């Protein structure tokens, strides 16, 4: 038997129904459930946003992930985006099936300081690479190591001039050792206790002495 939509009175003989409503009205009703403002966390220092994959540069893809996290009960696709505004294609379940709706939402930015910037500001580092040798070679290696560390989402806390070369302070031990093994360098490793972390475990800083 043909159904009639309680909102627009169209019949199921002329339009597809989702549950008791016609598809158009079901989609409109669904659209009202999507918030028109969505809050995204953005770092006040580097301007990157928080996504399900971590802190990322703001673009369509990362915004999709950040918004998707906020609207976790729906399936979200960012169709178009301008700073502060995004047009979304949202799919969700309603009684009788699933519907989709296109909706323009405002993006509100909540300020935060991301973990990396927080550590940077605090002068945090886990490893020191002591580069010794001919000055030009040493500074070439500093460039290489900086590029490697930044490409892997780490940072150089500082570079210090010392006798015979330069000391490079690096955010993560894993990046220091990663660089060394990738370039096939010979390093002398020493560790010093630097304190305890929040859960009371001993934390060591690594120093890698390298002759280049």
List 34, 46, 112, 209, residue binding Zn ion (CB under 5 A)? 46
Q: What are phi and psi of 82, to 5 degrees?
A: -120, 155
CB of 4 to Zn ion, least distance (A): 9
The contact mask relative to Zn ion for 17-36 (x = CB under 5 A, - = no) is -----x--x-----------
Distance, in Å, from the CA atom of 89 to the CA atom of 107, rounded to the nearest integer, reads 15
List 40, 63, 105, 114, residue binding Zn ion (CB under 5 A)? 114
CB of 171 to Zn ion, least distance (A): 12
Establish if 5 lies at the interface with Zn ion (CB under 5 A): yes
Establish if 99 lies at the interface with Zn ion (CB under 5 A): no
Establish if 209 lies at the interface with Zn ion (CB under 5 A): no
List 31, 39, 45, 132, residue binding Zn ion (CB under 5 A)? 45
Distance, in Å, from the CA atom of 108 to the CA atom of 136, rounded to the nearest integer, reads 48
**Does residue 57 sit in helix, strand or coil?**
coil
CB 112 within 8 A of CB 39: no
Binding part of the chain for Zn ion, among 6-14, 70-78, 93-101, 125-133 by CB under 5 A, reads: 6-14
CB 43 within 8 A of CB 124: no
Distance, in Å, from the CA atom of 65 to the CA atom of 51, rounded to the nearest integer, reads 5
């Amino acid at each position: 038997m043909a159904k009639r939509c309680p909102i627009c009175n169209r019949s199921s003989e002329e339009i597809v129904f989702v549950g008791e409503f016609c598809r158009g009205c079901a989609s409109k009703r669904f659209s009202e459930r999507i918030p028109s403002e969505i809050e995204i966390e953005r770092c006040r220092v580097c301007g990157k946003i928080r996504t399900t994959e971590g802190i990322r540069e703001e673009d369509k893809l990362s915004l999709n992930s950040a918004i998707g996290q906020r609207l976790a009960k729906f399936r979200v696709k960012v169709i178009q985006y301008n700073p502060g505004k995004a047009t979304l294609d949202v799919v969700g379940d309603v009684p009788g099936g699933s519907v989709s709706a296109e909706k323009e939402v405002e993006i509100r930015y909540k300020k935060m300081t991301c973990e990396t910037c927080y550590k940077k500001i605090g002068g945090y580092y886990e490893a020191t690479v002591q580069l010794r040798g001919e000055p030009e070679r040493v500074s070439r290696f500093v460039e290489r190591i900086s590029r490697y560390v930044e490409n892997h989402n780490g940072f150089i806390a500082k570079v210090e001039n010392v006798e015979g070369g330069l000391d490079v302070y690096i955010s993560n031990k894993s990046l220091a050792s990663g660089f060394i093994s990738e370039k096939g360098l010979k390093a002398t490793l020493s560790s010093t206790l630097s304190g305890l972390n929040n859960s009371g475990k001993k934390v060591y800083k690594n120093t890698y002495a390298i002759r280049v």
